[in-house]
Amino acid sequence: MLVDMRAARDLTTRELTPADAAEVTELIAACEVADSGVALIELEDIVADWKRPGFTMTQQTIGYFDDARMAACGEVHRSRSESYVHPAYRDAGIGTELVLWSQRTAVALGYGQVGQTVNEQNTAAVSLFERRGYTRRYSSWVLELPPETEIAPVELGDGYRLRGVEGAWDERAAYDVIEGAFSVWPDREDRTFEDWSTTTTRRDDYEPWHLSLAIGPGEQVAGACYASPVGDIGWVDQVAVAEAHRGRGLAQALLVRAFGLTREHGAPRAQLNTDSRTGALGLYEHVGMRVVDTFVHFARVL
């Protein structure tokens, strides 16, 4: 049900606070259900994001409120905007206001561009970014491994094996592999270890089994995969293999291990996100995954 347009015009705005985390989670979940049919956001996602080094809520967030009800929210971090309008408040001009707010905020923070990823099924959002002079930079997909799909083991070559985390040094080595692999993507900003760990190994709900490692000759960490359960879905957040160790099936083996672990912990389905910059879509399809959702990333030079 859409709200009265007069109410939409009378919305108040303010920066968000940690006390808003639960309501932001509910708002984003409502948007995900409207656009994709399923909510993947968790409260801990928001809490961890707001703990990132250098993130200042008073400068980088905004909330739109209809009396006490949150109608929309937005944040800008590292030239990337995450803005959401509750389905009940769409088509009231709030999305346009959020786009303009994100541009002003990005300029104030010294960023040279700002962008956002939106679900391709949200045609209103796609049209809004196109009208506002944003350029399509890349496509991304959510892929799923259905629960009935058999997970075939992967045989690794001599000198390679998989294991879990054994100490804090493993976390740093995993970060080095992941950051090294992702740093070559176009338009991708570098992440510090503190930034990465805040949203992975330092989350309140983190358990050591979430991080799997591929170990190569000399006990070197050759690959890493971070996966955790979100309801009945095992969400693979990151998987990467160091360049010197590619072509040996390590990524596939890490995925198989992650799928098995999340199933053991009550998540029969598995999902992950990849985009056209990685060239990894074929790998995921090869292990039995299928595309269930498509997104597009828009960006604009400021």
Q: Give dist(CA 81, CA 117) in Å, integer.
A: 8
Could you please state the CATH topology (level 3) that the domain comprising 144-293 is classified under. Aminopeptidase (3.40.630)
CATH of 5-133, one of 3.30.420.280, 3.90.550.10, 3.40.630.30, 1.10.1740.10: 3.40.630.30
Among 201, 262, 264, smallest CA distance to 227 is for 262
Residue 270 pLDDT more than 90? yes
What is the tens place of the pLDDT at every residue in 153-202?
888 988 999 999 998 999 999 999 999 998 887 777 788 999 999 999 99
CB-based contacts of 201: which residues, under 8 Å, 6+ apart?
171, 210, 211
% of the chain surpassing 90 pLDDT:
83
Residue 6 pLDDT more than 50? no
Residue 141 pLDDT more than 70? yes
| CATH 3.40.630.30 intervals, the chain | 5-133, 144-293
Write the DSSP string, 162-199.
EEE--SHHHHHHHHHHHHHHHTTSTTPPP--HHHHHHT
Angle formed at CA 115 by CA 111 and CA 116, multiple of 5 degrees: 140
Specify whether the CB–CB gap between 213 and 162 falls below 8 A: yes
What is the tens place of the pLDDT at every residue in 195-254?
999 999 999 999 999 999 999 999 999 999 999 999 999 999 999 999 999 999 999 999
Helix axes 94-108, 123-131, angle to 10 degrees: 50
pTM: predicted TM-score of the whole model, two decimal places: 0.87
pLDDT at position 245, please?
95
**What's the average model confidence in pLDDT over 58-68?**
96
Q: Give dist(CA 58, CA 172) in Å, integer.
A: 31
Question: What Å distances lie between residue 43 and 36, 225, 230, 246, CA to CA?
Answer: 19, 22, 11, 35
φ/ψ of 252, rounded to 5, equals -65, -40
Among 224, 234, 226, smallest CA distance to 209 is for 226
Q: Which amino acid is at 302?
A: L
With residues binned 3-state (H G I as helix, E B as strand, rest as coil), the percentages for the chain, rounded to 5, are 35, 30, 35
Question: What Å distances lie between residue 148 and 62, 86, 145, 154, CA to CA?
Answer: 42, 34, 8, 18
pLDDT at position 8, please?
52
